[in-house]
Structure 1
Amino acid sequence: MIPAERQRIILKMLETREICTIGELTEKLNVSHMTVRRDIAKLEAKGRVFSVAGGVQRTETVREELTHRTKSTQNIEIKKLLGLAAKRYVPERATVYLDAGSTMMEVAKHLVDRDDILLVTNDFFITSYMAEHGRCEIYHTGGKVDRRNNSCVGQQAKSFLKQLNIDVSFIASACWDNRGISSPSEDKVMVKQKVAEVSREVILVCDSSKFGKTGTFLALSNESFDRMITDDGLPAAYSEQLAQHDIDVVRVKP
C-alpha cells in the first residue's frame, strides 16, 4: 500500500472517532510503528492531524468562533493561571497590548495596580474593566465592531496600531496548530499581524484546548512568537518542536 493510500485511511478512521492509537493504525494498515509515525508526520505537516500521547487526533476546522459570553465560561481556572503567569512578562514603564478575549481579561486583572504602563487593547470589556479598576493610561484601537467578541477589528484598528511602538503584546487565539494561530475572520487576522509587526516582544497566551483547531486565515506562524504561555495539556511532541525553534514555552499546571 502506497503512503497516500495509508494516509487516506488514517483520515477516514478519524472521521468516526476523536483519537486513533498507533496500535490500531499499525494493525489496520499492516505496517510498522515507524511507518505509521512517518505517515502521521506527513499529515501533520499539512495541518490535517496532530500527534497526541500514543496516537493521533484529527484537526478541527472552526468556521465561526464562539461568543465572548460562551468563551468566558470555559476553562476558567486555567485561564486564571495563564493570566497570573503572563503578568511576570510585563516590564516597568512598558507599552502593553492585550488582545481581545476572556483569557486576556485574566491578564488585565493582574495589571490593575500598574500605574507605570500604557495599555492598548481592542477589547471593550478590558477597556471598561481597566477604566474602572486600573491605574494605567488606556488606549482603545477603535475600528469595526465585532459583536460576537465585543472587540474592534479590521482596517481602522490596524491603522491605529501601525502608529505605535509596543514593548510587549499578549495575543490570544481560538485556533492553534503546528503551523501557528489562525482565525475564521480575516478582519481579526489583520489586527494580530499588525500588532506582531509593531511589537518588540510577542507572547501567545492560549490554553491547550485550542490546539488542534484551525481557521481559514493563518494569522501568525509559531515562529512569530518569542514566548508561549499555555498549560500542561499541550502535546509533549509539540512542545519539543517549539523548543527546537527557540520558542520559550511556559506551561502552567492546574
Structure 2
Amino acid sequence: MSEGSMRYDSAPARRRTILEALRTSGFVSVADLTRELGVSDMTIRRDLRKLEQGGEVRVVRGGVSVPHGPLHAPAFVSRAGIAAAAKRLIAETAVELIGPTDTVAIDAGTTTYALAEALPETFRGSVVTHSVPVIQLMLNRGSGRIVGLGGDVLPESQAFVGPMTVDATARLRVRTLFLGAAAADDRGVYVATDIERPTKQALIDIADQVVLLADHTKFTTSAPVLLCPWDRITTVVTDRAPSPSIRDQLAKSHVTLELPRDSFD
C-alpha cells in the first residue's frame, strides 16, 4: 500500500482533503481526486455523495464544486435553491447541444450557471459571458477560453450590465446563446428589470441560435419587462412541458421544445 493510500484509507480523512482542495480551487475533478487520494472512482463518488447530502459540496459533471459556485451572494444563492433539481436536469439536457470546440454565450442567472457546471472536462471551446459566477467557475476549472464582458456590476444577478457590456458584446459572434429569463408566457420571454434587457438583447443579436433555459416555474409566474417574442428563440429546454397555449405559440414560431429524458411529465 502506498503512502498516499495509507493516509487516505479513512472516509473522514478523504472528505477533509476534498473540502480543503475545494476551498483552494472551487472545483476538483473526480479523476484528480482518485489520483491524489489513491482510491477507486467508486469510493470517491461515494464520498462526494455523502458531502453533498450534508450540503458541503455540489456534485457536477466530472467532479465537484462548492455548493453554489465561488460567490455566495445571498440573492444568488437563494435563487439557486429554487427548483434546483429541475435546473440540473435542464443543464444536463442543454449541454448535449454544445460541441467540444463551440463558441457559446452563457447568460447570467442560476439556471445558466448550472449549464456552466455541466460542461464536460473535454470542452475546449470559448465561453462568452457577463456572469461573474460563470467567469470564476470557468477560471477554477481551467478548461476552455473565457471572454468576459465588463461593465457595471448588478449585485442581484452577479452580472455585468450597461453600455460598456453592450458595446463589448456587439464586437463578437457566438454559435449558441444559452439564455435565462424571469418568466415566459404566450407573448414571449420576460426579465425582472429593464436594466438587464439591453445586455440580453445584445447577446441575442450576436447568436446564430438562442436556447432558452427555463424551469417549469417560469411558465406560471410573471415579470414586468418583455425581453423578446418567441420568434427570437430557437429552442426551449425545460423540465416540464408548458401549457398548451404556450406550446402552440412555440410551434407557430418554429421553436423546438426539448425535455429531459427523465423529465417530471
Common fold, TM-score beyond 0.5?
A: yes
| SS of the residue 2:242 aligns to | coil
Is this contact kept in 2: 1:112–1:136, CA < 8 A? no
Match of 2:240 in 1: 232
Question: Which letter maps to 1:142?
Answer: G
Question: Which letter maps to 2:152?
Answer: K
Give 1 or 2: higher strand fraction: 1
CA distance in 1, matches of 2:76, 2:229: 24
Match for residue 79 of structure 1 among 77, 87, 90:
87
Match of 2:224 in 1: 216
Quick check: 1:186 aligned with 2:194?
Answer: yes
User: How far is 1:236 from its partner?
Assistant: 3.1
CA distance in 2, matches of 1:212, 1:144: 31
Q: Deviations over 1:175-233 (max 9, x none)?
A: 21111112232221001111111110111000110114333321111110110001225
- Structure 1, unmatched stretches of 5+, are 1-65
Which of the pair has the greater relative contact order for Cα pairs under 8 Å at 6+ separation? 1
Percent identity for Structure 1 against Structure 2: 21
Q: Deviations over 1:160-187 (max 9, x none)?
A: 1000011110000112111111223222
Question: Which letter maps to 1:240?
Answer: D
Match for residue 146 of structure 1 among 144, 148, 154:
154
Match for residue 144 of structure 2 among 119, 122, 136:
136
When residues 184 and 105 of structure 1 are mapped into structure 2, their CA distance, relative to the original with a 3 A threshold, is closer
Which deviates the most, 241-250 or 71-80?
Answer: 241-250
CA distance in 2, matches of 1:134, 1:235: 40
When residues 114 and 134 of structure 1 are mapped into structure 2, their CA distance, relative to the original with a 3 A threshold, is farther
CA distance in 1, matches of 2:234, 2:106: 16
Match of 2:213 in 1: 205
Is this contact kept in 2: 1:158–1:190, CA < 8 A? yes
CA distance in 2, matches of 1:229, 1:112: 19
Runs (4 or more) in structure 1 with deviation over 6 Å come to none
TM-score, normalised to structure 1, is 0.70
Number of residues paired by the alignment?
189
Which deviates the most, 207-216 or 151-160?
Answer: 207-216
Q: Deviations over 1:73-117 (max 9, x none)?
A: 110110000000011111342211001111111111121414421
When residues 215 and 237 of structure 1 are mapped into structure 2, their CA distance, relative to the original with a 3 A threshold, is closer
When residues 74 and 184 of structure 1 are mapped into structure 2, their CA distance, relative to the original with a 3 A threshold, is closer
Match of 1:15 in 2: none
CA distance in 1, matches of 2:245, 2:229: 18
CA distance in 2, matches of 1:108, 1:83: 8
Q: How does 1:10-159 map to 2 (within 5 A)?
A: 67-159=75-167
| SS of the residue 1:186 aligns to | coil
